[in-house]
Amino acid sequence: MAIDRIIRVDMSTGAVTEERAPERYALLGGRALTARMLLEETDARIHPLSAEAKLFIAPGLLAGTAATTSGRTSFGFKSPLTGGTKEANAGGQLGHRLARLGIKAIVVSGAARGGWRRLDMDAEGARLSAADDLAGRGNYDLHRELVGEARRTRAAATIGPAGEHRLSAASIAVTDPEGRPTRHAARGGPGAVMGAKGLKAIVVDDSGGARTVPGENADAFKREVVQFSRTVLEDPRVHNTSRYGTAGVVKFVNRENVLSMPTRNHRHGSWERADTISGQLIEELGRERGGKMLPCMAGCIIKCAILYHDAGGGHVTTALEFETLALLGSNLEIGPADAVAELDRLCDDVGLDTIEMGNAIGVAMEAGALAWGDWEGVRRLLDEDVRAGTPLGRIAGNGTASVAAAWGIDRVPVVKGQGLPAWEPRTLKGMGITYGSSPQGADHTAGMVTARGVTPETLAQQSRREQLTMMALDSAGLCQFTNALPADMAAFVRERFGAEMSEERLLAEAREAIETEREFNRRAGFDREDDRLPRWLLEEPLPLPDGPAVFDIDEALIDAVWA
């Protein structure tokens, strides 16, 4: 089955048109495709929220197939947070549904005049309609109405009030298998771009499409699927993720020889109350309250999504992940897990990146605008100020650098304007190399390097390799928790498309895609100074057992990653 339809939506005129993808896009999907289209179709100097800006939405190359976790969807855009190229991807049900309708990409351009719009897509086509009745509503309410009981055939991508306010920390919520808006394309402000277009919701119904997209070499592709699934299920790392989700990392990173549990706006690397938000505690609460581990998309065999209930057994969230627990938890000195779960639900409903908001609020606390540990104050900020778009809510919702500028704080935890993830670059120095050298900025999913006790040169090599692997994963639409190797992805592409594909070619194409992102940033005005980490990470030490640790990687080594 060919997945070669590009749907173009001009929000200014209301026109929805379709074209066939050019041959040069045949083996591009997900992040590689959105990066290429962004570079080819937009002027990198435009304002990211202007009518001239575009939002690109693309499932991965393997979307719609039986390959586990292959349904991730990429959202590509010029970031209102960083000013450069950005891709945010999410699990959920959208990617598979688009692929089963043969849709390779959606391109949203222009800006609606006079009210909100929704885009509906099914086997009959794609169409825009008025959606003023959806305005102001949170994502939970939206997905109940737009998906509801039709969750086996329908998925939505929506913005909450934060996206309507065009806030730079705004996310796009994607429907999970239970019909809830718990999967978010969050980093870099995609919700703001969608909001600037006047597009409140995209609804995709694949009931008239194919149920599973076969491989060109069907039998060989099926064998690859079976073998890969077996490898995933036998991986000890997957066993841990399937039991605790990413929350299981808390116990590891809070140790004195790692110190990657951000606390008090990243001033400390461990938190004495970390056990109150750990994956082990959350598992215990799940047994008591009826929680369990769920897949974030149909066909996922890992099941790392934590179904989290309150003490009365009511649903709170299905996405209580490590980054959220760290940035909205320990970084703000907020616990226990029940408190962080409530904040996570609010971010999902309002439509906000939990990483960016955890950093932004941490800076606000450092400025004295809120007290450390003030859960009620943070809840009010999210639920009342950001949701309503008050001046305070707009300052916070526009991200970490916005809060720092408003309060005159010079210790700002950002790289390329984007808030730091929980992975600490002073002790896990390979992460700092990734933050600096990646076109995406401070994004842990751009290339995870957690090795310690090796040379800086080795860390740089690992960062380059992991960034290439992650580009390949994001382009295929696979989840990083499968721990798929380039050889695995090359085999999938070879049998899915009947194309020549080796590990070497796959990595070469990943490199080309990263160079595409770097070229966009260059045209946008980025230079090597944008690849630097904030000075306080170079000067404020964390106390490891063998001595104080700062980020002391030579700048020339960061510059050489893509030389």
Confidence of residue 208 (pLDDT cuts 50, 70, 90): confident
Q: Which parts of 264-352 are beta strand (E)?
A: 292-294, 305-309, 315-317
Exposure string of 120-142, with b = 16+ CB inside 10 Å and e = fewer, is bbbeeebebeebeebeebbbbeb
In this structure, are residues 442 and 418 in contact, taking their beta carbons and an 8 Å threshold?
yes
pLDDT score for 43: 98
Q: pTM (2 decimals)?
A: 0.98
Question: Hey, what domains does the chain have and what are their CATH numbers?
Answer: 5-205 (3.60.9.10), 236-403 (1.10.569.10), 429-559 (1.10.599.10)
Confidence of residue 210 (pLDDT cuts 50, 70, 90): confident
pLDDT score for 288: 96
Tens of pLDDT along 363-416?
999 999 999 999 999 999 999 999 999 999 999 999 999 999 999 999 999 999
Q: Which strands make up the sheet holding 315-317, listed edge to edge?
A: 292-294, 305-309, 315-317
What are the phi and psi torsion angles at 495 (to 5°)?
Answer: -85, -30
Confidence of residue 209 (pLDDT cuts 50, 70, 90): confident
d(CA 85, CA 520) in angstroms, rounded, equals 6
pLDDT score for 136: 98
**Section 43-64 average pLDDT:** 98
**Section 9-33 average pLDDT:** 98
Q: Which parts of 338-423 are beta strand (E)?
A: 414-415, 418-419
Query: 389: closest CA among 170, 225, 174, 129?
Result: 170
**Section 542-560 average pLDDT:** 96
pLDDT score for 29: 98
The token pair at 247 is: 């929350």
Residue 211 in this model has a pLDDT that exceeds 90: no
Taking CA 477 as the corner, what is the angle to CA 472 and CA 479, rounded to the nearest 5 degrees? Answer: 85
Indicate the DSSP class of residue 251: H
The answer to whether the Cα torsion of 478, 53, 11, 149 is positive or negative is positive
pLDDT score for 531: 97
Confidence of residue 149 (pLDDT cuts 50, 70, 90): very high
The token pair at 439 is: 């076109």
What DSSP assignment string belongs to 475-533?
HHT--GGG---HHHHHHHHHHHHT----HHHHHHHHHHHHHHHHHHHHHTT--GGGGPP
Q: Helix 456-476 and helix 429-437: axis angle, to 10°?
A: 60
d(CA 422, CA 428) in angstroms, rounded, equals 11
- Chain mean pLDDT for the chain: 97
Residue 5 in this model has a pLDDT that exceeds 90: yes
Q: For a pLDDT cut of 90, what percent of the chain falls above it?
A: 98
pLDDT score for 353: 98
pLDDT score for 1: 77
Confidence of residue 331 (pLDDT cuts 50, 70, 90): very high
In this structure, are residues 395 and 402 in contact, taking their beta carbons and an 8 Å threshold?
yes
